[in-house]
Amino acid sequence: MIQVIDYKAGNLTSVLKALHYLGAETHVTQSSDDVRNATKIVLPGVGHFQATQLLHDLHLTEATREAIARGVPFLGICVGLQWLYEGSTESENTPGLGHFASKCERFPATDNNAELKSPHVGWNSIENIRENARLLRGVTPGSFVYYTHSWRAPLSPDTAASTSYGGAFTGAVERDNVMGVQFHPEKSGETGLRILKNFVEL
Amino acid sequence: MLTKRIIACLDVRDGRVVKGVQFVDIIDAGDPAELAHRHAAAGADEIVLLDITATHEGRGTLLDTVKRTASELFIPFTVGGGIRSAEDAAAVFDAGADKVSINSSAIARPELIGEIGASFGAQAVIVAIDARRAANSSDPVGDAEVYVAGGRKPTGRKVVEWAIEAEQRGAGEILLTSMNTDGMRSGFDCELTALVSQAVQIPVIASGGAGTAAHFAEVFARGKADAALAASIFHFGVTDSRELKAELERAGVPVRLPC
């Protein structure tokens, strides 16, 4: 059973639909007990980083910390990935989980002196896939995934795959049982389903 | 590298895909769910379903059609037509849409853009603009006018100004349809698309006039479009996304090639 955290950031329909298609059982929750006792957690989310404040208010931050300390596989999607970091310049007063160092920042306004459109919307490729990344097993470098976001996490040793748009950023992150993807695997065709399947089968 | 998106559009009336030429002369083109899956398999980057009669004839079978089309569709899926409130949008999202496209209702009440965005994120709100060049103006492109109600009603608003306002109110993307070129298969309105694309930061989807792969290459290069939408070009076997993208790649346009 995968506990899918609902923190009122966007709709969960697409994520649930993809997980069900892959045969996973899900339970949508806002309960810290459900999260604390989970065997697997997905944190979806689109929209503003400030929405993650609800995770603190519902005492889900501590519950998540306890669960991942027990080795429970955790997957953050989009804002769910960003929440794994210390925070985001999108909402300075909303702390993230701080599992990964550094903050998420907005795309630069220009790239090589040319205007860089933001949000970054569309299909972009994931490159430099880390060989030991369990989430990306069987995914070929250069595979396309669907992004829609204006803030992104910097590269770090925990980066499992990078994408280039106004410079390289973290497309996927993974350290032990804690994983995140900035793109939307539920909207990324066969490649996305493969990544979700990898997580479901952990 | 971020690729240029090819979006397959399904104009739906009473649960069936139809296609008109310059907003009239409707002909039947098939089942929406079946066509959506065929487009996805052929490499379309997104699917847009527009309920073209909803604005003046009620909701009909839209939600059921959306649910049926969204099941087992794992690429971005946009639904438009008849969405007048955040509640209407919520129902469409519940049925499986990832984004909604609003047009007449956004002109009537621009606050709607922000209201839907507040609950579902700006990325989920596409403001669709039906544009007609100002024939009698010295600047027909700059003075292009916004039309609503399926292209039947002029609003007196300039296209570029409305696009900028939509962005400021929190739209995630602009879907720009040229009524002059729609259904003619003679090319997109590149001048108007470029004007809008340069006026806003958010992505602009060009629509109306696709006939050949060269038309797409042109609207990406000269029209500065981030994505392009086509309907009739796909429905009758003129070409599919696979052929179209192969040709675009040969022309140097970055595209996601289907596996």
Q: pLDDT by residue (tens digit) across B140-178? A: 999 999 999 878 899 999 999 999 999 999 999 999 999
Active site residue A186: yes
Angle made by CA atoms B167, B116, A150, in degrees to the nearest 5: 50
Which of chain B's residues have a Cβ under 8 Å away from the Cβ of A48? 121
Catalytic choice (A99, A184, A190, A201): A184
Distance from CA of A132 to the nearest CA of B (A): 24
Taking the CA of residue B195 and the nearest CA in chain A, the distance in Å comes to 15
Choose, from A78, A104, A149, A174, the residue flagged as catalytic.
A78
The alpha carbon of A121 is separated from its chain's Cα centroid by a whole number of angstroms, namely 16
User: B52, B24 in Cβ contact below 8 A?
Assistant: no
How many C-beta atoms lie closer than 10 Å to residue A114's C-beta? 8
8 A C-beta contact, residue B73 and residue B44: no
Portion 78-107 of B in contact with A at CB < 8 A: 93-96, 98
Tens place of pLDDT per residue across chain A (202 aa): 999 999 887 778 999 999 999 999 999 999 999 999 999 999 998 878 998 999 999 999 999 999 999 999 999 999 999 999 999 999 999 999 999 999 999 999 899 888 898 899 999 999 999 999 999 999 999 999 999 999 999 999 999 999 999 999 999 999 999 999 999 999 999 999 999 999 999 9
Count interface pairs A-B at CB distance under 8 A: 89
The amino acid sitting at B242 is R
**Domain range for residue A53?**
2-200
For chain A, the domain total comes to 1
Q: Is residue B67 within 8 Å of B47, Cβ to Cβ?
A: no
User: So what's the pLDDT on residue B163?
Assistant: 98
Determine the Cα–Cα distance for residues B126 and B67; give it in Å rounded to an integer.
Answer: 20
A92 min Cα distance to partner chain B (Å): 19
Q: How far is CA B204 from CA A129, B118, B190, in A?
A: 31, 21, 12
Please report which confidence band the pLDDT of residue B82 belongs to, taking 50, 70 and 90 as the band edges.
confident
Q: What are the structure tokens assigned to A188, written together?
A: 């990324």
pLDDT in tens, B22-62: 555 566 778 999 999 989 998 999 999 988 765 555 464 68
| Residue in B2, B98, B119 nearest the CB of A124 | B2
DSSP conformation letters of B168-207: HTT-SEEEEEETTTTTS-S---HHHHHHHHHH-SS-EEEE
The verdict on a CB contact (< 8 Å) between B74 and A188 is: yes
Give CA–CA dist B163/B105, Å, rounded. 15
**A188 vs B40: CB contact, 8 Å cut-off?**
no
> Rounded CA gap, A71 and B186, in Å?
59
The owner of tokens 């990832």 is B98
Other Cβ atoms within 10 Å of B86 Cβ, number: 17
Which residue is it, tokens 């004007």? Answer: B195
State whether the Cα torsion A114-A115-A121-A127 is positive or negative: positive
Contact A189 B75 (CB under 8 A): yes
Task: Report the CATH number at residue A162.
Answer: 3.40.50.880
User: Hey, how many other C-beta atoms are within 10 angstroms of the C-beta on A30?
Assistant: 15
B150, B50 contact by CB (below 8 A) = no
Of A21, A117, A187, the CB nearest to B76: A187
Q: Of B11, B45, B226, B240, which residue is the catalytic one?
A: B11
DSSP secondary structure letter of residue B103: S
Contacting residues of B for A148, CB less than 8 Å apart = 123, 172
Among A11, A120, A164, the residue with its CB nearest the CB of B93 is A11
Find out whether B165 and B113 touch, Cβ atoms under 8 Å.
no
Residue B214 has pLDDT above 80, yes or no: yes
A168, A173, B8, B119 from B1: Cα distances, Å: 10, 19, 22, 30
pLDDT per residue as tens digits for the range A151-181: 999 999 999 999 999 999 999 999 999 999 9
User: In angstroms, rounded to a whole number, what is the distance separating the alpha carbons of residues B167 and B125?
Assistant: 10
